[in-house]
Amino acid sequence: MSSGSAYLTVAGLGVDVVYKDIKNMHISVYPPVGRVRVAAPESTGEDTIRLAIVQRLPWIKRQREGLQRAERQSTREMESGETHYVWGQRYRLDVSRTSGNHHVEVKGQTLWVVTPEGSDADEKRATLDRWYRREVKAAVPTLLDKWQPVVGAEVEKIVVRRMKTKWGTCVAGSRTIWLNPELAKKNPRCLEYIVVHELIHLHERTHNERFIALMDEFLPDWRARRDELNGAPLAEEDWE
């Protein structure tokens, strides 16, 4: 009997598996990056899960495509009064101030995006996106100082770049970690989880039993952090 969780790669698709005391399998697709999660009865074999994923690939693909379309359609208009998130905290956007320099300030419960007079929504959005990137990049050195000695792996380069389907990735050959700037919107615990996750990939490139064991050893609550990062599902389907 299996218990806990696992990570499978099926047809090039990364799948989180959580074993629960339930009768049916549930396949979910989570925003914003379309991560796939399977909740499976505790006695379910890996081959059964793989088969279910393969059979539902068209449905999963549709959900992921719909998610990307929804993300494009729900782009913030960058108008004062909108809700935006910074490190897991909710803020009210204010774009009423202008300046010759593009900059972002967080004061109280307000997120100020300050741009030159006449800037349109795209320019304001670009200013905020650049700031989110800087926030992630500024937070990483402290995490690397903490975790590189613990994990026993060192990174040569950090790249912060928007990715459609991943929070982070590791290029083991060049010892480079790529991070999604969207992480700056999440609780800092989530960024720490991704950094540890990618550092461990320098030891183990796949999500096999050794990888899971290392995650359990170094960051015992990583499953809770992963679930917090992935949030609520965009779509969920029962599988008998």
pLDDT value for 2: 44
Question: Is 137 found in the same domain as 60?
Answer: no
Q: Is residue 187 part of a domain?
A: yes
Structure tokens at 86: 């910074």
100-104, 226-230, 235-239: which has the minimum mean pLDDT? 235-239
Chain mean pLDDT for the chain? 89
Q: What percent of the chain has pLDDT over 70?
A: 92
pLDDT at 4 over 80: no
Residues 8-17 have a mean pLDDT of 88
Question: Is 90 found in the same domain as 70?
Answer: no
Tens digit of each residue's pLDDT (9 = 90 or more) over 81-100: 999 999 999 999 999 999 98
pLDDT at 18 over 80: yes
pLDDT at 107 over 70: yes
pTM, entire model: 0.77
Tens digit of each residue's pLDDT (9 = 90 or more) over 135-176: 999 999 999 999 999 999 999 999 999 887 789 999 989 999
What Cα–Cα distance (Å) separates residue 71 from each residue in 10, 31, 93, 98? Answer: 25, 9, 19, 28
**Helix residue ranges, H only, 36-88:** 46-55, 57-73
Strand order in the sheet with 168-171: 157-160, 176-179, 168-171
CATH code at position 123 = 3.30.2010
* Number of domains into which the chain is organized: 2
What Cα–Cα distance (Å) separates residue 222 from each residue in 8, 83, 189, 209? Answer: 16, 28, 9, 15
pLDDT value for 46: 93
Q: Is residue 41 part of a domain?
A: yes
pLDDT value for 131: 97
Question: Is 68 found in the same domain as 91?
Answer: no
Question: Is 17 found in the same domain as 103?
Answer: no
Boundary (domain end) residue, out of 14, 40, 74: 74
Give 238 or 22, the one with higher predicted confidence: 22
pLDDT at 74 over 60: no
Question: Is 117 found in the same domain as 64?
Answer: no
Question: Is 88 found in the same domain as 191?
Answer: yes
Residue-number span of the structural domain to which 70 is assigned: 5-74
Q: What percent of the chain has pLDDT over 90?
A: 70
pLDDT at 26 over 90: yes
Q: Is residue 63 part of a domain?
A: yes
Question: Is 183 found in the same domain as 90?
Answer: yes
